[in-house]
Structure 1
Amino acid sequence: MNERLHSVLAQRGVSPESLAEACEVDPKTVGRWLGGRVPHPRHRFRAAQHLRVEETFLWPALLLNAGQTTAGLDVELVGTHQNRASVPRDTWLSLLKGAQEQISVLVFSGTFFAQSNPHVAKMLAERAAEGIQVRLCFGKSNGQAAAIRGREEGIGDTLAAKIRASLTYYRPLLSEPGCQIRLHDTTLYTSLFRYDDQLLVNPHVWGQPASANPLLHLKRVDATGWFDNYAQSFEAVWATARSWTPDQEGTSSRGQD
């Protein structure tokens, strides 16, 4: 079974019938793809284009068939950190200041992001004024995903309070052109911090806060590596998230850590 194709269809909200229509094939053919069959090249191209992913993400066996290896992933991995707190503050600042095209953040609460740099909102506004695309995606405080995560970490409603508290830092960005803030209600396996072709990936271990887990620093090398897989997951969550409306979300001064 092609789990990746199943997952992408679900993330994009695309039915097998819609994919079949886009690829000009019978729905039964898409069923066979979902069952593990690799499509013809022209159909692979259309399917990947329609779903906005790389062919090799949906069918990684193509890399092996072409005689390629995953050795390039070693080049992508700039460094690792034992936990998020061990990342030097200068690293966060230099990445934020050095971005030329985009700054994209995906978290549940991300309170540390502002608390480690009280001027982060001002800096993001300045980068946006310079033409940088700023996208911040936080968890929906009253959503199911945040509630489940809070229970898993054993902190109950504290995570929801942390989300509301964190959002207060970014309220000034709502009126800034080039800045977007959205809320997601998605199971989050990693927190992501993207600065152009640099990406900090903070995996989530079940039952532990993200701050206690390792962090990977990746640099984009090509479209077949880890970087693009994580970047695509950001885009998938961003596409389903809704714009933050403070009056509806509410605010809180609780739960900051």
Structure 2
Amino acid sequence: MANDRLRTAMLAAGLTVDSLAEALHRDPKTVERWIRQEQRQPHRTTRVELAKLLKVREVDLWPELGGSPRPAAVETELVHLYPSRSAITGAIWTELLTSVSTSMDVLVFSGAFLVEQYDLIPLIRKKATEGVRFRILVGDETSQAVKQRAIDEGTPGGLEGRIQLMRRYLSDVVGLEGVEVRTHSTVLYNSIYRFDDDLLVNGHAHGALAGQSPVLHLRRAPNGQIWNHYIKSFELTWKNANPEPEAEE
């Protein structure tokens, strides 16, 4: 089983197999084996140096080192914890987006950064022709929940405008086979981004922008509880949301 924690931490640090191998004075093939085989660990001195380079703890890369009493499902579900959404590198977002092969679900108020920074609309067009299913939930800018959120984060009127912009962007793909867009008026406790079996959960803190708040990177695991917990939240919001009408010709 691959060590996805190590792979993700390397991406977050902007390091490749070759650059990490050079920094640790190790053969790139050795580093590749650490990634491909989760049970394979460097010697302790190398682990310490590696964790320092990646700015994580050893136990974040190899949970078994901590002798944690937590259930295995919890350990295997959590890939990485980011201190903020803005701490997730462009390389990670791009990898998650371009690797989607089955389904992508998004629950946000705006989420316009996905279009403006990562070219979401052309990606939806391309992936939809390959059979990928997209379900995208954006806020209803006229709802009280959105208006209050804008006030709380200190951007009255700004959030509403970003949502209108996102809905305009998405109007170009509404109606494509496998693409559904809905608006919701729920109090948004978390933004959710699902890429097949990977899930990013961006928690929201009162008075802070979403980009300033921590993000859990989860991966679906057998009998995993956290993944299902957040997916249920998405499904409930989806069920009560309003479908976006197709643009008139």
Q: Which residue is 1:139 aligned to?
A: 139
Q: Which residue is 2:92 aligned to?
A: 91
Offset at residue 235 of structure 1 (A) = 0.6
Q: Which residue is 1:112 aligned to?
A: 113
**Which deviations, in whole Å up to 9, do the C-alpha atoms of 1:10-57 show, x marking residues without a partner?**
xxxxxxxxxxxxxxxxxxxxxxxxxxxxxxxxxxxxxxxxxxxxxxxx
Q: Which residue is 1:161 aligned to?
A: 161
Secondary structure in 2 aligned to 1:116? helix
Q: What TM-score do the two structures reach when normalised by structure 1?
A: 0.66
Offset at residue 175 of structure 1 (A) = 3.2
Secondary structure in 2 aligned to 1:85? helix
Query: In structure 1, what residue type is equivalent to 2:156?
Result: G
CA distance in 2, matches of 1:211, 1:128: 28
**Map 1:1-257 → 2, pairs under 5 A:** 70-118=71-119, 120-245=120-245
Closer, same or farther: CA 219–146 of 1 in aligned 2, 3 Å? same
**Which deviations, in whole Å up to 9, do the C-alpha atoms of 1:128-171 show, x marking residues without a partner?**
11111101100001011101111211221211111001222222
Structure 2: runs of 5 or more not aligned: 1-68
Q: Aligned residues: percent identity?
A: 31
Alignment length, in residue pairs?
A: 180
Query: In structure 1, what residue type is equivalent to 2:115?
Result: A
- Is the contact made by 1:125 and 1:179 (CA closer than 8 Å) also made in structure 2? no
* CA root-mean-square deviation: 1.9
CA distance in 1, matches of 2:240, 2:122: 27
Q: Which residue is 1:8 aligned to?
A: none
- Is the contact made by 1:134 and 1:180 (CA closer than 8 Å) also made in structure 2? yes
- Is the contact made by 1:205 and 1:213 (CA closer than 8 Å) also made in structure 2? yes
